[in-house]
Amino acid sequence: MRRLPLLYSRLRRVAALLLAAGCLGQPAQAQQPAPAAPTSAAARTISLEEATTLALTQNRRLAIAREQVAEAQYKEAEVHAKRFPKLTALANAGYNTNKLDITVPRGSLGVYPATGPIPAADIPISEGSHTLVLGTVQAAQPLTQLLKIRTGEQVARQEVALARTSVRQAEWQVRQGVEKLYYGLLIAQQQQQQAELSLQAARKQRYDVESAQLAGKALPAQVLGAEANIADQEQKLLAVQNQRADYAADLNLLLGLPADTPLQLLPPPSPEEALQPLQTYLSRADTANLTNRQAAQTREKAALGVKAARQQYLPDVSLTANYIRIQGSPILPRNSLLVGGLLNWNIYDFGERQAVVEQRKSQQRQARENELYTREEVAGAVQKAYRQLGQAAALVAAARKATDLRAAELKIKQDALAAGKVLPVEVLSTQATLAKAQADLLAAQLNHRLALSELLHVSGQQ
């Protein structure tokens, strides 16, 4: 009688196992990979090209970089405007404690015997005002300053070019970021499918072990091992789900979308760039690479800085025209027009301007050395990217071969399952292995695409 509770307990376990076997043992269901999670009705279907375009349009860092180009262009316009005459107005009004009176003193014209002093008494001619107002309007056209202004314009144009190059660099970084997150999300989806299949296989394996234990062919330790395997697979599935959620949120942020926007990613097309000889990429990178271009633009800007420093020795000469109006003075004319020139020349400054010239020369030498170093570094980067692209192509071929073999293996296992020659757990394990091979293929394709993008970028084609 004591054995009845244990018998009932075993019968309940057998019933539960048979029910599970009925759910997992149907060949029609075991032959297909686990379906992907259903897509929400609000999910946004997007391709890699659309995602890249969206990121280039809505990314805020790119908007800042483009606004810096506009800022540099306005600065160039500011320098250009200094070529033209400046019209300024100045007014000064005040109270004078001493009036500017005009009086002809007695005898100022002489003292004669016949007439006496002329004039015989002080004669007031005009009485000044305590209030004195001086106003002037001046038009000044720079002359010698035009040389300095022209150099300043050239410097401003170099800053515009540098800002535009920085925008292109930022756009490439955004493209790279979109591709990494796009492929990363696709890989995470494939890894999640693999983890789900592995979890199903682990649960089926536990059923088989428990069945063997009931038949006296397995030890309790084997059941515990199967339970531990299930826990491991559940942990891996949870980690992959978290990673997928992180990739999705990061991609939405880069695209300028709300972080919780569901995305349905379309498979990206295979790159169609035909690999050219290494020397072709090296020759193109010498002039088209953005880093080389930035270094050359910086060198040109430094040379203009030396030129501008030397021009500080020139005097500032301007052509001026002044209209002057004075009120409150009986002596000076009320309205005057003065045309002439203005000279401002710093004759001696105890070596200040020479120190600036030497400073700019040092910056020019640094820019030249930086350009040489940059060209060497870019050439090395082109060779490295070319080598990595070849390695990535070999990895893609190997991963594709492994995927094809795993797919063929799965087909054989499914046929064997239909014939009753293998257990369902073997099919589930093969499905999980195929899902892993597909994830590895996606990772290899991402590596190949990034290697190609890097080669095109360092050679100046992107």
Domain count for the chain = 1
Of residues 172, 178, 150, the one with CA closest to residue 254: 178
Q: Is residue 11 part of a domain?
A: no
For the segment 336-378, what is each residue's pLDDT rounded down to a tens digit?
Answer: 898 999 899 999 989 999 999 999 999 999 999 999 999 999 9
449, 183 in Cβ contact below 8 A? yes
DSSP-based three-state secondary structure for 420: coil
The C-alpha atoms of residue 402 and residue 192 are separated, in whole angstroms, by 19
78, 101, 218 from 428: Cα distances, Å? 71, 116, 22
Q: What is the DSSP string of 187-252?
A: HHHHHHHHHHHHHHHHHHHHHHHHHHHHTT-S-HHHHHHHHHHHHHHHHHHHHHHHHHHHHHHHHH
Once rounded to an integer, what is the mean pLDDT over residues 31-41?
Answer: 42
C-alpha–C-alpha distance, residues 344 and 383, integer Å:
57
Rounded mean pLDDT, 77-92: 93
Of 13 and 395, the one with more pLDDT: 395
Query: Residues of the chain with pLDDT > 90: what percent?
Result: 36
Task: Report which of 253, 266, 258 is spatially closest to residue 186, judged by C-alpha positions.
Answer: 266
Radius of gyration of the chain (CA): 43
User: To the nearest whole percent, how much of the chain has pLDDT over 70?
Assistant: 88
- Tokens for 272? 């169609």
Q: C-alpha 431: how far from its chain's center? A: 41
Residue 80 lies in a domain: yes
pLDDT of residue 401: 93
C-alpha separations of 45 from 51, 182, 266, 390 in Å? 10, 12, 7, 33
Contacts of residue 117, Cβ cutoff 8 Å, sequence gap at least 6: 106, 107, 110, 111
CA dist 202 and 428 (Å) reads 9
Question: Which pLDDT does position 31 carry in this prediction?
Answer: 35
Q: Domain range holding 394?
A: 16-35+46-458
CB 430 within 8 A of CB 413: yes
Residue 5 lies in a domain: no
Q: Is residue 150 part of a domain?
A: yes
User: Reduced to 3 states, what is the DSSP secondary structure of residue 46?
Assistant: strand
Mean per-residue pLDDT for 41-51? Answer: 83
CATH number of the domain within which 163 lies:
1.20.1600.10
Residue 419, pLDDT score: 87
The CA-atom distances, in angstroms, between 315 and each of 143, 148, 344, 348, 352 are: 10, 11, 6, 12, 16
Residue 103 bridge partners (DSSP): 124
Q: Which residue has the higher pLDDT, 25 or 247?
A: 247
Residue 2 forms part of a structural domain: no
Residue 8 covered by a domain: no
For all residues of the chain together, what is the average pLDDT?
83
Distance from C-alpha of 36 to C-alpha of 41, rounded to nearest angstrom: 15
Q: What angle do CA 238, 239, 243 make, to 5 degrees?
A: 115
- Is residue 436 in a domain? yes
Q: What angle do CA 279, 371, 162 make, to 5 degrees?
A: 100
Question: Which of 26-35, 95-104, 368-377 bottoms out in mean pLDDT, i.e. has the lowest?
Answer: 26-35
For residue 128, the model assigns a pLDDT of 66
Q: What is the Cα–Cα distance from 183 to 52, expressed in whole angstroms?
A: 13
Q: At 49, which helix (H) or strand (E)?
A: helix 48-58
Task: Please report the pLDDT score of residue 26 as a whole number.
Answer: 36
CA distance 102 to 428: 118
Task: Name the 3-class secondary structure at 417.
Answer: helix
pLDDT tens by residue, 312-331: 999 999 999 999 988 877 77
Q: Are 187 and 446 in contact (CB under 8 A)?
A: yes
Q: How confident is the model at residue 126 (pLDDT cuts 50, 70, 90)?
A: low
What's the pLDDT band for 271 if we cut at 50, 70, 90? low
- Let me know: does 79 contact 156? Beta carbons within 8 Å: yes
Query: Residues 6 or more apart from 363 whose CB is under 8 A from it?
Result: 302, 305
Where b means 16+ CB within 10 Å and e means fewer, 370-392 reads ebeebbeebbebbeebbebbeeb
pLDDT higher than 50, residue 19 = no
Q: Could you say which DSSP state residue 100 is in? A: -
**Gap between the Cα atoms of 280 and 144, Å rounded:** 48
| Segment among 208-217, 269-278, 405-414 with least mean pLDDT | 269-278
Q: Which sign does the torsion angle of CA 189, 190, 195, 199 carry?
A: positive
Q: What is the pLDDT of residues 222-244, one digit of tens each?
A: 888 888 988 998 998 999 999 99
pLDDT, average across residues 67-73: 94
Q: 401 in a domain, yes or no?
A: yes
Helices then strands, counting H and E runs in the chain, come out as 10, 10
pTM of the full structure: 0.68
